[in-house]
Structures are given as structure tokens and as C-alpha cells.
Amino acid sequence: MNYELNKLIGNADIVRFIKSRRIAWLCHVVRMDDKRTPKRILEWKPIGMRTRGRPRKRWIAGIEEDLQIMGVRRWRKQCEERAEWKKIFEKAKTHSGLNAIKRRRRHHVVVVCWYA
């Protein structure tokens, strides 16, 4: 057990703590001026060809998934009101649906050869 980390976050669940801080940072970035670099990166749409295969999950997609688990709708509108967003941020610290880490499943192929 990492005692320093435990002391820093006050014995909270580390996954929920990180997810709640990501939600708080998202709102902070959304309220920023359009010329600020974090805001420009958040709203950036790349152009050109994509690589083959499934696209990687974006940072904001993970947060939107967490907000959906919490039942938050129209989060961009709620983000403009700090008091309302603070309630969502505080709710994220204790929400039971945010404590699991989702792991990607990899498909393993097992080849069995029978010799007579």
C-alpha cells in the first residue's frame, strides 16, 4: 500500500478520485477562452487519413462515458454554471459506478492439433 498516496487523497478510492478530477478538469477547459491551448486541443478535429482498424478512444469519450454512467445529460450546458458543475464533481467522488477500471479484452486463439 502506498501510504503517501493514501494520505494525499484521504483514503478515497483512487479510481473514483482520478475520474472525478478528470471531470473537474473537463469543465475547467470548456469554460476557457477559445484561444487557450487546452481548449483548442479539446475541440481539435484532425484532418487526413486514419490508420486501419478501430479508432482509439479519445480522452473526452471516456469522460462522457463516466458522465453517462452518472446520469448527467447536457453536460456542456451545466458546465457553464459552476455551482451546478460542483455538485456533479462532488457526486463523482462517491458514485459507485465509477470505481471499476474497464480492461480491454484480447481474443486469444488456441490451436489444438490431434495426432493419430
Q: For position 55, what pLDDT does the model report?
A: 80
Q: For position 103, what pLDDT does the model report?
A: 54
CA–CA dist 17, 94 (Å, integer): 9
**Residue keyed to cell 494525499:** 8
What does the DSSP 8-state code read for residue 58?
P
Long-range contacts of 53-62 (CB under 8 A, 24+ apart): 60/26, 62/22
Q: Which residues contact 4 (CB under 8 A, 6 or more apart)?
A: none
Q: For position 51, what pLDDT does the model report?
A: 83
Nearest residue to 59 (alpha-carbon basis) of 28, 26, 18: 26
CB-based contact 10:94 (threshold 8 Å):
no
**Residue keyed to cell 487557450:** 36
Per-residue pLDDT tens digits for 72-101: 888 888 888 888 888 887 888 777 777 665
Per-residue pLDDT tens digits for 54-79: 888 888 888 888 888 888 888 888 88
Q: For position 40, what pLDDT does the model report?
A: 92
pTM of structure:
0.68
